[in-house]
Structure 1
Amino acid sequence: MKIYFKPFTYITIFACIILSCSNDDTSNTTSNNNNDDVAVTELHAAFTEFNPDAVTVILSDDGTEYYIETTGFPDHTSIYWEPSHALYIDEPGVTKTTQNTYIGGGQGEAASFTVDATPNLTGATVATQLNTIGIAVSGASIFNDQEGMGDLDQAAQSLDWAGAHKGPGVYHYHLEPTPISSDDDSLVGILLDGVFIYGRQCSSTGTHPTDLDASGGHTTTTQFTNGVEEYHYHIINDVYPAGNYAYAPAYVLFAGPFQGY
């Protein structure tokens, strides 16, 4: 992942949707994932699924990178919204991590990163780290399977129906985000290495894939690649034994390692 910034052509998700509607061939994917300098000419078709009220995606002038930023505010209900908010719901089984800090009421909720437009799959794998490891289509952050420096189980009580919590910075998912994907092939988001992640099923077969690598990744077509095979992740279909999670069963969203650096 590159953390520097360079001049970008400002293209929003909304603009991408317009382009997709006006062009029968919206896919800019390539089966050649061995070069992180491969240029593309337009946003990947998968970006049309991202919440345009929260997420902005910008393609670099040379077509080799995406700059992705989000407000961090999801477009679904949660106990972590302020009680007066339209998306607030009461979840009696959830023990909140923060009693007086709500989505939209804290600091550091926005997130951003720059990724290669064509992930480099030839290098070494990279372990995930704490904090934001990706952005979901809802606009909220994706975290790994750890809480602080320990196991996620210690914070399972605080996870809402979406497999997420706020504490006290960004609202973020640790588990399969059920408002986005619940045992299906829906696009979930994009990770720091530029690889998209999908639900537990694969659109190419309509079943749970059996050929995933250690990261939950494989190379097949997706609903956004116009028949071209592309490496992508899935939520691995293994139940996470979180006995104190208010909702069951639980599936870790992404533990890593990253494959696309």
Structure 2
Amino acid sequence: MKKSNKNMYLFFVALTFSASILTFNACSSDDDITPVVAEEDEEVVTDDSGNTATLHDAFAEFDVDNTDIALSGSNVVVQTNGWTSHTSPYWSNTTSRTATPPGGTPITTVSATNHPLWVEPTATTHQFMSPGNIDDYNGTFTLSVSSSPALAATSTATGLGPIGISITGVVIYNDQEGPNMPLNDMTIGSFDYTAAHTGPQSYHYHLEPKAWSDDDDELVGIIADGFFIYGRKCNSTGTYPTDLDASGGHTSTTQHTTTAEYHYHIQNELYLNAYYILFPGDYQGTPSNIN
């Protein structure tokens, strides 16, 4: 290789390498994040105070088509479009259905074409489905939590609306359908096969999401206090944990860490003799709003 060509080649190699280590997620802000080189491509950033944060391995399971995850200083920012990549009768379809919200006026829903992920209802019926479709929602939900969440001195009750974000991108709700309205058979009758339905804001899960977690140790998502939530079984023992606190949390290793850490589980306690509430307890950490 001629000397001039060789120098040009080394210049472009250096330029490419520099660009690769300076690239980070578009959700991050130049003012908040200083990228640093990490071993084995682990995402690490330091904030203006020199604090170092890393992205937990569990975030690798979140659906990249629906979620965007980035480090911002010592926080992790999770943004989702609220959609999912699994099938549901709540995707848009050509079948007309009329649903009546509690105390409301009947709403008829019909769309021009079937969404590719639309399926006929099995756990519910067209008659009992909630109004609206998954793809009617065109906004985003954003959660910012500490990359190293800690247990709080006192727990905090969850509220209505999103209390977490699942790995599919769909938001997680608690065990209430409205103010002082626990889930009942009528509400659950509108759920699809993976215990979700549409609501005032978007499609959301209330119960064990059987599309990917059914009596197992699968990662379900992240709760608004920064702690992850897993299925009914614990990876550290392969069975149901017996040391859970009132919120379904305990400290042990998971499939994502070799160091014991606090996390939640869907509790192995039947609700209405047939269901498993996804998260019926209080936040054991300090919750952030999901906006």
* Fold similarity call, TM over 0.5: yes
SS for the counterpart of 2:134 is: coil
Q: Which residue of 2 aligns with 1:188?
A: 220
1:208 to 237, 240, 244: 240
Partner amino acid for 2:70?
A: I
**TM-superposed deviation, 1:42:** 2.2
Matched residue SS, 2:156: coil
Q: Would you say 1:77 and 2:87 are equivalent positions?
A: yes
**Equivalent of 2:231, from 196, 199, 203?**
199
CA contact (8 A) 2:53 2:75 kept: no
Matched, 1:257 2:282: yes
Instruction: For 1:230 and 1:93, locate their aligned partners in 2 and report how far apart those are by CA, in whole Å.
Output: 36
Name the CA distance, whole Å, in 2 between partners of 1:124 and 1:168.
Answer: 31
* 2:170 aligned residue: 140
1:110-162 CA-partner distances (Å, limit 9, x unpaired): 21121111112142100000000000001100000000120111411111111
Which entry has the higher C-alpha Rg, 1 or 2? 2
Measure how far apart 1:43 and its partner are.
Answer: 0.7
Task: Give the share of equivalent positions with the same residue, in percent.
Answer: 44
Match of 2:129 in 1: 96
Distance change in 2, residues 1:74/1:235 (3 Å):
same
The CA RMSD over aligned residues, in Å, is 2.5
What residue is the counterpart of 1:152 in the other structure?
183
Indicate yes or no: 2:87 matched with 1:87.
no
Looking at structure 2, the residues matched to 38 and 191 of structure 1 have their Cα atoms a distance apart, in angstroms, of: 27
Aligned counterpart for 1:234 among listed residues 265, 272, 279: 265
CA distance in 1, matches of 2:221, 2:264: 10
Distance 1:90 1:10, change over 3 A: farther
For 1:52-96, what per-residue CA distance to the aligned partner results, in whole angstroms no more than 9, with x for missing partners?
0011111113xx211111000011011100120111111144121
- The residue number in structure 2 matching 1:58 is 70
Higher strand proportion (structure 1 or 2)? 2
- Between the aligned partners of 1:115 and 1:91, the Cα distance in structure 2 is 36
1:106 corresponds to: 137
Aligned residues: 227
Identify unmatched segments of 5+ residues in structure 1.
12-18, 29-36, 243-248
TM value normalised by structure 2: 0.72
Shift of 1:44: 0.4
- What is the CA-CA distance between 1:164 and the residue it aligns to? 0.5
- Structure 2 counterpart of 1:215, one-letter code: S
Q: SS where residue 151 of structure 2 aligns?
A: coil
Cα distance, 1:205–1:91 mapped onto 2, change above 3 Å = same
1:40 and 1:117 in contact (8 A); partners too: no
State which of 42, 54, 70 in structure 1 corresponds to 2:54: 42
Q: Structure 2 unaligned runs (5+)?
A: 1-27, 94-113, 287-291
Distance 1:38-1:117 versus aligned 2 partners, 3 A rule: farther
CA distance in 2, matches of 1:8, 1:27: 15
Structure 1: which amino acid aligns with 2:270?
Answer: V
Q: Measured at CA, do residues 40 and 133 of structure 1 come closer, stay the same or move farther in structure 2, by a change above 3 Å?
A: farther
Partner of 1:31: none
